[in-house]
Structure 1
């Protein structure tokens, strides 16, 4: 790319955007991203972006629809201001759980969001740990899909924990948990669950030995916290010495923070793809940053270098 590198952000996760820009020794691009008195989203760029290689950092966090609209309007504004290339940096991709129809007369919302982003004018997408990796195929533009697993594994290896078992809280996450346990040198256990209703889960059975071990539950996201709380209870009943949980995206919907705070888990570790609620520390919720990884990916995209080294 001949154009200069510029970073803009919506209002979803300004601290992460600032941290990414800081790693790149850049200032965030100046823009007005707010709301008109009638409730409509307002976007106005206050920087010259003609010919620039622009990255917009915007997680699709609560309120999801509002932050999605901010992203779409910022992409459109940059296109109309003659940016050379626009990359949507979406650390957390909302609607990712709605990637297929589970019953009749339902939308495939994750596909619709992908269409909206491409139609708005994004040239490519940079994201992290999609709930369903198949969502990459919903886009007809390039998608770079980062993984937080190596960063979280480094964090646990630094603790020099012994006799560890990594637990997948459901059958769908076995592949993810297996990669993680290989990175930290642990054994594997799997919890089977069923969902009698949306956002409700019940533990059915467990495969693997956790007695006398330190259990680490590994998942891609924590939403209502119900799955984690039930899994942790089961692990303690099966003889685990301690239980901690880690995930890329800490959504903490509804009363999740209170639920996790009342659970038997000693710690819940998430990344900063989504800002933590104010009461998180009281519930033993900690956070590590993915800003350096996103900064490295952005500079590689800008210089047209391979991102393969970031996926190891």
Structure 2
């Protein structure tokens, strides 16, 4: 593929992933820079001509969430003002996706506010991966492509050859997605039942529903933040007779203290993608990164060539 009429640029939240995507596409990365002033203001600058080009800007909106999101809006505006034909926003991890509903009085639906801001800034299309709440696609009036990390993580799980295994959903809410993992890997499924009583990162695992005794348990989820649920589920699975515990999580959003919590847990290995790269922690031996660059690169190529993206996921239904 040539770089004729296509340009991929990096926001400061996805520098390494953008480089890998450009390597997959065999194109030169767009030239740009992000500056931060002492008062906290962010300044973005495109360092080449983009007039008439179809632009793809890669930016995960986390660590720090507000700064990276504002930077993304500035990039969209800069490209539109520079005469780009279209601006496709690639958000590997959309941090405000958790704010998808008004679940108590007098609170903001944060994901909707973010969707409105992205549209008003001038984005023509959004590409993301494993949205915490898929209905967020309906918050936008522009096309939204929600990619799935399942094939990437699923193939890595197959390569580990873990023997008799069971897929475990960490809660009832993720059971539907966990069933997709189970079908893809041809494994049974179990569900951890938990309760969360406050707006914090702590939940209590009450029981495991399903047969895990003597099997390798593989916990799947869309993201982890504190590591608390993973650690608690891992211990509960061992208590219920699981031989060992692995996990496959799309977004490794590790807050400070999370890896220490996982280090003390029975979890043997945690697979994550590289959708988040500015974590304030240093990975330990339990973390293995599976790059999503080929998936995002393929999606960009298909969008650019006006081909189907859904064909990439026929194998997972």
Q: Fold match, TM over 0.5? A: yes
- 8 Å Cα contact 1:3-1:53 kept in structure 2: no
Task: Identify the residue that residue 79 of structure 1 maps to in structure 2.
Answer: 80
Counterparts of 1:208-287 in structure 2, within 5 Å, are 208-275=210-277, 277=279, 280-282=282-284, 284-287=286-289
TM-score scaled to structure 1, two decimals?
0.97
Task: Identify the residue that residue 308 of structure 2 maps to in structure 1.
Answer: 306
Q: Take 1:224 and 1:37, find their aligned partners in 2: how far apart are those partners?
A: 30
Task: Identify the residue that residue 296 of structure 1 maps to in structure 2.
Answer: 298
Shift of 1:151: 1.1
Counterparts of 1:45-64 in structure 2, within 5 Å, are 45-64=46-65
Paired positions, count: 311
- 8 Å Cα contact 2:256-2:280 kept in structure 1: no
Residues 180 and 151 (structure 1 numbering): CA distance in 2 closer, same or farther, change over 3 Å? Answer: same
Counterparts of 1:58-137 in structure 2, within 5 Å, are 58-137=59-138
Q: Take 2:279 and 2:89, find their aligned partners in 1: how far apart are those partners?
A: 24
Task: Say which SS state the counterpart of residue 284 (structure 2) adopts.
Answer: helix
- 8 Å Cα contact 1:17-1:57 kept in structure 2: yes
Shift of 1:277: 4.4
Q: Take 1:277 and 1:3, find their aligned partners in 2: how far apart are those partners?
A: 34
Task: Say which SS state the counterpart of residue 110 (structure 1) adopts.
Answer: helix
Q: Take 2:102 and 2:61, find their aligned partners in 1: how far apart are those partners?
A: 21
Q: Take 2:160 and 2:234, find their aligned partners in 1: how far apart are those partners?
A: 21
- The unaligned stretches of length 5 or more in structure 1 are none
Task: Say which SS state the counterpart of residue 205 (structure 1) adopts.
Answer: strand
Shift of 1:36: 2.6
Instruction: Specify which of 194, 197, 206 is matched with residue 208 of structure 2.
Output: 206
Q: Take 1:142 and 1:112, find their aligned partners in 2: how far apart are those partners?
A: 17
What is the CA RMSD across the aligned residues, in angstroms? Answer: 1.4
Residues 110 and 278 (structure 1 numbering): CA distance in 2 closer, same or farther, change over 3 Å? Answer: closer
Shift of 1:283: 5.0
Query: Which aligned runs of 4 or more in structure 1 are off by greater than 4 angstroms?
Result: 276-280
Task: Identify the residue that residue 158 of structure 2 maps to in structure 1.
Answer: 157
- The unaligned stretches of length 5 or more in structure 2 are none
Task: Identify the residue that residue 179 of structure 1 maps to in structure 2.
Answer: 180
Q: Take 2:282 and 2:213, find their aligned partners in 1: how far apart are those partners?
A: 29
TM-score scaled to structure 2, two decimals?
0.95
Q: Take 1:280 and 1:31, find their aligned partners in 2: how far apart are those partners?
A: 28
Task: Say which SS state the counterpart of residue 250 (structure 2) adopts.
Answer: strand
Shift of 1:94: 1.1
Shift of 1:25: 1.1
Shift of 1:205: 2.1
